[in-house]
Amino acid sequence: MQNRPLIPVRRQFSPISLPDEFPVTILGLHSPPPAPVDWLHQHDCLELGYCHQGAGVFIVEDKVLPFGPGDVSVINDREMHRARSSATAVSSWSFVLVDPAKLLATAGAREREVARISRLGGPRFGNIFKGAEHRRVAELVRGVVAEMRDAAPGYRAVVKGHVLALMALLHRGAAGDGSEEPGAGRESAERVAPALDYIARNYGKPITVPQLAEMCFASESAFRRRFKAATGRAPQEYVAYLRIQMATALLESTGAAVLEIAQRVGYRTLSSFNRHFRRISGCSPRQWRQRSSSAAGGG
């Protein structure tokens, strides 16, 4: 198989002008295209997103994070990012941009401490919060989106309360490290970036380690070592994880048959798909869909 020419990823800093008296703004509904991600951007504030429908992946620095309906994105001012929808389940998002430090400037010392956004990032921070697993986080972000959209009387006070509660929850469970500089571990990530990009766009196709190593101009042994350092997983483990995460999103956002979803995410047999799905998610695809339907009905 021939290598395709690698397209460099452009990086763009996009500062946001937020009003001093109420440093929060909401963007219109956004549907990330299913096209390859060839540029990333970075803001100078906290970006909160809520996925209304569809599925896809968020590229955040070297992280490739699957998402589905009801999921939330949390991205600080240090990380380059961009979303890409699945071609078979185009997503729809609402995004809110906020400066928590300014918004909570009049709060007490403890409240101002949780307004810091530096810890909400880095290699160990999962920027996508699954709605089914982090219901309170999803409720708060959804509430901020609704209040900003409707702008009913007193909405600013409600938004301020939601943001304070959200930041406290995020800091409580944050796996990031405020001492990390942007790009921690980036050397390994940059050396396997062509492979990460290819996997994100072609997870539904057969993928081999020799193929990925060739893209990164490395021997298989060197590639495996660098890939594990960058992602925390071996290459084939990473591919399987991404495929199953995309499958969970498709189970939640479409009515497609389990066999069809298995084929979409790269599995040739239903038995192999079911085995990997159970190992990674802890249940069968049908059980996952039933749980998701029950959670949606109860919300």
pLDDT of residue 63: 82
* Rounded CA separation 93/199 (Å): 23
SS3 107: coil
* Residues 39/82, Cβ–Cβ less than 8 Å: yes
Token pair listed for 172: 């409580």
* Rounded CA separation 225/244 (Å): 23
Q: Tell me 8's DSSP state.
A: P
188-209 burial: b if 16+ Cβ within 10 Å, else e: bbbbbbbbbbbbbbebbeebeb
CA 266 to chain centroid: 21
- Domains in the chain, please, with CATH? 10-173 (2.60.120.280), 186-298 (1.10.10.60)
pLDDT of residue 1: 28
For 96, list phi and psi in degrees, rounded to 5: -120, 135
Q: Which residues of the chain have pLDDT under 50?
A: 1-7, 176-185, 299
pLDDT of residue 6: 40
Give CA separation, 9 vs 41, 82, 98, in Å. 10, 11, 26
Single-letter code of the amino acid located at 185? G
pLDDT of residue 255: 87
pLDDT of residue 128: 94
pLDDT of residue 47: 97
pLDDT of residue 294: 67
Token pair listed for 199: 């996997």
The candidate with the shortest Cα–Cα distance to 75, out of 85, 54, 61, is 61
104-113 burial: b if 16+ Cβ within 10 Å, else e: beeeeeeeee
* Rounded CA separation 222/227 (Å): 8
